[in-house]
Chain A
Amino acid sequence: MDLETFVIISVIKIVAGVIILLTAVAYSVWLERKVVGHIQNRWGPTRVGPFGLLQPMADGIKFLFKEDLTPPHVYKPLYIAAPMIAVIFALTSISVIPIGNWITIGPIHTPLQITDVNVGLLVVLGITSLGVYGVALAGWSSNSKYSLLGGLRASAQMVSYEVSLGLSLIGVLIMAGSFSLRDIVDAQGGTFLGFIPRWNIFQGQFIAFFIYLIAAYAETNRIPFDLPEAETELVAGYHTEYSAMKFAMFFMAEYANMITVACLASLLFLGGWHGWLFGPAWLQEILPVFWFLLRVFVFLFIYIWVRGTLPRFRYDQLMAFGWKFLLPLAIANIIVTALIVALRS
């Protein structure tokens, strides 16, 4: 493949990736409102389009056309930059995530992934870890006590849970022996005992998955760890002073992060795109994508389900839980996994 083809294909992938991601973000918002509504015995959005399916469009239009309000006494450069930072890093991290196996369209044979980096997982982690700046700077530059408290909470919480999150993945890395997300998924192919798939979650990484799940909720500031935006105490936390499109950016960033996390969970623990393949050749190329999206959907559904079920933690509980329970557990998991792998080889 020559350079021109490479550039063209990459641009196509990037555009497609962004569009798919933004659509997914929009509809996961819809999904959340709908599901939470049903959990709370309400209907959720119903007016715009059938089942309220056009509601995300309406929301987008509303955000675009509202007045962009800048409060006085804010530190303007950062006040403007903060939501951009948040959304940029949220969208960037999708670039190394594969959503399926290789596909062949005519003469072109390409992976379903914007770029395959051999330290892909670390790239995702690195970009995610930069996302905290959006929240922190937003909180500080707003020059409001609620925002500042939210920003402080967010940065402390995200830095703390990033440790557990990173450590929970090491077990998976030991099993796969690679940082490349594609290699990790490939390592989970096949079955053992005839019917159990070789997903990491079935290979002793259940505890790691559990840690990852909890840490991921904290990383994305979701209930039950949504302390930074706790409306009952901090009004709306770090985005109290934001409105219109800037607020929408934070919103998009949060849901994009959720999707990234869901993708990562599917890839690392749930066997990626492995699944039942049948039918003609073209179907066999598409089916992995379907299986992968199905997992992501399930994961997102659990996100929403948890939101509709659990109350919010207290701040000291949150910190104690992260440092005193999850971190030792993650380390223990690493030790046990490493021992097993070392003994097996």
Chain B
Amino acid sequence: MLHLILFLVFGAICVAGAVNLLVQTHPINSALSLIAVMGSLAVEYLLLGAEFVAVVQVIIYAGAIMVLFVFVIMLLNAGIEERTKGSRVALLVGVPGVVLGSLLGAWVLLQHSGASSVSLGAMPGPPKEIAQLLFHDFLLPFEVTSILVLIAIMGAVVLAARPESVHVTKKEG
């Protein structure tokens, strides 16, 4: 019961944050809503027993990636988004469409997987076992992603560096 309540509360926060992301016109508000979504998602992970994933979600997503977003919003001083007719049309047509689609998907899922359920703490994700998987069974993908990250770092530095100025001190985290 407690599990269901917690799920519903944080699920509601998630949905609210996601919708707020869409509604808000200023990117910083959208970014903060997204942080809220990620935080409550971390709680959902905890409810699923994946505490390591939950903490990493907070550290990486909320603590690093979103900081980067906020940083860029601040740096570029991104203003309020202007509305045009097209976007109103999109809202009028798209939002009901999305709601309908979501309802349809939800209905299908409820129809076809009603029996299985997850209980609180059903499967803890101890860091040791995760490490065993990550550094043993999934070693190659792990190394590949590490190279991907390295490439991304270099790409970001090259892209963001001003070609003409010599003293570029800004870093992408």
Interface residues in chain A, defined as those with a beta carbon under 8 Å from any beta carbon in chain B: 75, 78, 117-119, 122-123, 125-127, 129-130, 132-133, 136-137, 139-140, 148, 151-152, 155-156, 158-160, 162-163, 166, 177, 179, 315-316, 319, 323
Contacts and interface: CB of A to CB of B under 8 A. Distances in A.
A172 B12 CA distance: 39
Interface of B is mostly: helix
Contact of A122 (B55, B62, B68, B75): B55
Given A133-B35, A159-B68, A179 B171 contact: no
Contacts, number: 84
B59 interface: yes
B59 A126 contact: yes
Given A117-B51, A129-B64, 6 more contacts: A122-B55, A126-B59, A140-B70, A152-B74, A155-B67, A319-B171
B121 interface: no
A159 B64 contact: yes
A156 B171 contact: yes
Contacts of B51: 117-119
B63 A129 contact: yes
Interface in B125-173: 126-128, 167, 169-171, 173
B171 A125 contact: no
A227 B44 CA distance: 37
Nearest to A155: B71
B55 A151 contact: no
21 contacts: A75-B28, A119-B52, A122-B52, A122-B56, A122-B59, A125-B55, A129-B58, A136-B71, A137-B28, A137-B32, A139-B74, A140-B73, A152-B74, A155-B67, A156-B71, A156-B173, A158-B67, A159-B67, A159-B68, A179-B127, A316-B167
B162 to A, nearest CB: 15
